Amino acid sequence: MADLSYDEFSFLAEIGIHKTNHGCFSGSWSGEGSEIPAINPHDGRVIAHVKQATPQELETCLANAESAKKVWWNTPAPRRGEIIRQIGEALRAKKEALGRLVTLVMGKSLSEGLGEVQEFIDVCDYALGLSRQLDGKVFPSERSKHMLLEIWNPLGIVGVITAFNFPAAVFGWNAAIALVCGNCVIWKGASSTSLVSIAFTKVMEEVLVRNGIPPAVVTMVVGPGGSVGEALMADHRVKLISFTGSTSIGRHVSQVVHNRFGRTILELGGNNAVIIMDDGNVELALRACLFAAVGTAGQRCTTLRRLLVHNSQYDTVKTRLVEAYKHIKIGNPLDPTNLMGPLHTAAAVKEFTDGIATIRAQGGHILSGGNVIEGPGFYVEPTIVEIAHDAPIVKEELFVPILYLIPFSTFEEAVAINNEVPQGLASSMFTNNLKHMWEWLGPNGSDCGLVNVNMGSSGAEIGGAFGGEKETGEGRESGSDSWKQYMRRSSCAINYSSELPLSQGVKFDLS
């Protein structure tokens, strides 16, 4: 085991992270399970340790949340919004330290780590406004002196299972919206980024306690998926599971939760394409594609995997892109001058090397990169590959910085290539042709949940609903009317007459 590096990072104490941490919050802190290390992907050293939750501690979390839920859902929505606003303010006060923590344990650049905290803050602001807009509808009735109403009520307990690549922001999307809708939330984050789960939960705990709200409104467990995770998915008290992760695990989550008639929001694999048309702005496209392909070391669900370039622009884009890759500064993500940090784990490095071997076996040609960077930590070179669009490997999602460069001849061919993979998360087209733009956005265009024009595949805003189609999963998070997924809808008919007419003119008279 590498030497502990906790003492090198003074900001950890500021956000309540210690050398050994409890990995369960049920309204109070505990951790009776096995101890796991938190690894710094930059150098492979141990930052701190976390004592995981046991299934018994998960039960305590759920029991305490059950007790707290009536207090929370009977708190007026605008008051809930005000408390969530305070959570956002508490995050603002500690943004620098929390952002550095995200960067330290995940490996993304400091700018991205800070941006992830800002995303959580922004969705708290969004939830504040939403707290006065959780509207139903009034419908005209066909019966005299009757009224039809649509009423939305909380579900109760919402489970949020998040992945390592966005260890804070994705929880923020779900938690802020679920909480403003009147639900309690239980969070199971990735074990490898458990320090983030602990630090953010402590911020939320402080705000809830200060406002006289039972702290078990937000509970948290760090624990193995095989015991704690399975128990969380199977529990009938958890009305909705929002899961972020791989398609294979998401399929299992769906089967377990829907088997008990629970709800799911699934944000799974992405295999995202950007199309540069013959009239596309190459300068704009190159800047957008560079971040989309290299940001977070290729470990975003919206990372650009397939760059489709019109034959007339192909050689120019290829030359410019290969040259740009030479200038990507790679290194310690806490250094703000570095644009790309390490992969998250040693397993990801193996995925990279295995992927490169498969690409070569399937006729791919490496234009740039393709190598592991020797030394401590989990570093690889960002890689550009020329390969046929129908090579089997292109249909898979490698969660590493490998970009496929693919030529095409016509708009129709480009759309077909975009849509031919099993996943359907993010897509973009660079064009100044209005006909192509509207075709791209319509039923004959992209089959993805996120469909962009003249921007990259990464960088979704909180105001729009986030999610995908096909094997990317189901459901939407964050903006638009995503809040409805976290609530129970009742259609209500009210009779304020002294008569009892039936709908559709049905008669049922005993006399």
Please, are residues 167 and 195 in contact by the beta-carbon 8 Å criterion? no
The DSSP string of 356-371 is: HHHHHHTT-EEEE---
Exposed, middle or buried: residue 238 (CB in 10 Å: 0-12, 13-18, 19+)? buried
CA distance 371 to 383: 8
Buried b (16+ CB within 10 A) or exposed e, 218-237: bbbbbbbbeebbebbbebeb
In the block, residue with structure tokens 């993304």 = 108
CB-based contact 489:287 (threshold 8 Å) = no
Task: Report the distance separating Cα 123 and Cα 188, nearest Å.
Answer: 19
**Residue 82 falls in the annotated catalytic set:** no
Q: Measured in Å, how far apart are the chain's first and last C-alpha atoms?
A: 87
Residues ≥6 apart with Cβ < 8 Å to 374: none
Q: Which of 116, 267, 397, 439 is catalytic?
A: 267
Contacts made by residues 90-94, CB under 8 angstroms, sequence distance 24+: 90/203, 90/204, 90/206, 90/207, 91/117, 91/120, 91/121, 91/124, 91/200, 91/203, 92/121, 94/14, 94/15, 94/203
As annotated, the active-site residues are 267
